[in-house]
Amino acid sequence: MNRPKRVAITGAAGQIGYQLCFRIASGDLLGPNQPVILQLIEIAPALDALKGVVMELEDAAFPLLAGVEATADLETGFKDADYAILVGAKPRGPGMERADLLSENGKIFGPQGRALNAVASRDVKVLVVGNPANTNALIAQANAPDLPKENFTAMTRLDHNRALAQLAARTGIHHTSIRQMTIWGNHSSTQYPDLHHTLVAGKPAMEAEGVDASWYESDFIPTVQQRGAAIIKARGASSAASAASAAIDHIRDWALGTDGDDWVSMAVPSDGSYGIEPGVIYSFPCTCENGQWSIVQGLEINEFSRARMDATDQELREERAAVESLL
């Protein structure tokens, strides 16, 4: 058996954290031959609830679970972590402006970045799920100067998977036969789900049965952008199992590699590719190999896409400006 990998999760007693713990302990993150140690982090008032999660993990007797720790102390929780999934965040309260939300979250992600910098594995791979995820990742990254900048990412994989599901439903082709889906930009309503490079059963998605410009612009794009709100309306609670599943997809593909000529959507530090502002954490089409992601290069960008890619870039620049003092 391999040496156990340490996976830290913040917000571990919350609804996404609760799903993540059991999926990871059962081997869904790193495969059936990789033992894991879970390092679960919560704020002090949630430690009792977290104790219950630990008891359930013990009771599940997972063969791959080599240990569980539960703590409210960041340096204990991130010690030697190989992976850190940052889920706990401050939700938007009534009347709260975006700038307030960003600065409240800065108070969480700044200290978390500093703790990762101090005690995590020097190659810790970080995924931020807690919203506003892209800019929270930027804050954590800025506070961890000794760690590789490219190891700080944010989650748009749920949006990617939602886009696959919508296109599969429209075309009647199973999502496993759809490749090269792209979400550009911010995990917010400005995100741009792009079908211009997507293949459905090997053929261009924009020419697939049931797909035309009107459906794409007036139905597909807004449905993907607003799927989170539709789930809240139907379930009375925000997406949890699908969000945890997407977080697992994100880390698994990053660690173990993407499939052949397919790619995935990951929010990563922009290197200026496709004219996007360098430094912002922007969702690009990415391939992964040997634990490293790379942005897919050379895709042709038409005018329609350009305008939407720039709008979501603009939003990320504004978010960055709003948290400048924390960077």
Query: Catalytic amino acids?
Result: 187
Q: Which is nearer to ligand NAX, 200 or 246 (CB)?
A: 246
User: The tokens 């925000």 sit on which residue?
Assistant: 238
Residue type, 36: V
Under the criterion CB under 6 A, does residue 224 sit at the interface with ligand NAX? Answer: no
Q: Are 85 and 36 in contact (CB under 8 A)?
A: no
- Here's the x/- map for ligand NAX, 21-60, by CB under 6 A: it reads as --------------------xxx--x--------------
Applying CB under 6 A, among 239, 270, 283, 305 the residue interacting with ligand NAX is: 239
| Host H or E run for residue 137 | helix 133-142
Only one of the segments 119-127, 217-225, 237-245, 272-280 lies at the binding site for ligand NAX (rule: CB under 6 A); that segment is: 237-245
Cα 302 to the chain's mean position, in Å? 27
Q: Report whether 133 contacts 154 (CB < 8 A).
A: yes
If the CB atoms of residues 43 and 321 are measured against ligand NAX, the closer one turns out to be 43
Residue among 70 and 173 whose Cβ is closer to ligand NAX: 70
Of 17 and 279, the one with the shorter C-beta distance to ligand NAX is: 17
> Which residue's Cβ lies closest to ligand NAX?
14
**132 cis-preceded (ω within 30 degrees of 0):** yes
Strands 178-179 and 83-86: unpaired
Residue from 14, 35, 110, 269 that binds ligand NAX (CB under 6 A)? Answer: 14
Among candidates 134, 129, 126, which has minimal Cα distance to 284? 134
Site for ligand NAX in 124-183 (CB under 6 A): 129-131, 133, 155, 158
Question: Left if phi > 0, otherwise alpha if psi is -120 to 50, otherwise beta: which for 158?
Answer: alpha
Q: Which of 187, 197, 227, 320 binds ligand NAX (CB under 6 A)?
A: 187
3-class SS string, 134-196: HHHHHHHHHCCCCCCHHHEEECCHHHHHHHHHHHHHHHCCCHHHEECCEEEECCCCCCEEECC
What are φ and ψ of residue 130, in 5° steps? -60, 135
Question: What is the DSSP code (8-state) at residue 68?
Answer: E
- Count CB-CB contacts under 10 A for residue 221: 19
Q: Amino acid identity, residue 316?
A: L
Cβ 246 vs Cβ 201: under 8 Å: no
- Report if residue 238 touches ligand NAX, rule: CB under 6 A: yes
* Secondary structure of residue 33 in the 3-state scheme: coil
Q: Please tell me whether 157 is known to bind a ligand.
A: no
Q: CB-wise, 270 or 283, nearer to ligand NAX? A: 283
Q: Which of residues 54-93 bind ligand NAX (CB under 6 A)?
A: 87-89
State the nearest-atom distance from the C-beta of 86 to ligand NAX, in Å.
8
Regarding 270 and contact with ligand NAX (CB under 6 A), the answer is: no
| Residue 3 Cβ vs ligand NAX, minimum distance, rounded to whole Å | 27
Is position 130 annotated in a ligand binding site? yes
Q: For binding to ligand NAX (CB under 6 A), which residues are involved?
A: 10-11, 13-17, 41-43, 46, 87-89, 108, 129-131, 133, 155, 158, 187, 238-240, 243
Per the annotation, binding residues are: 11-17, 92, 98, 105, 112, 129-131, 162
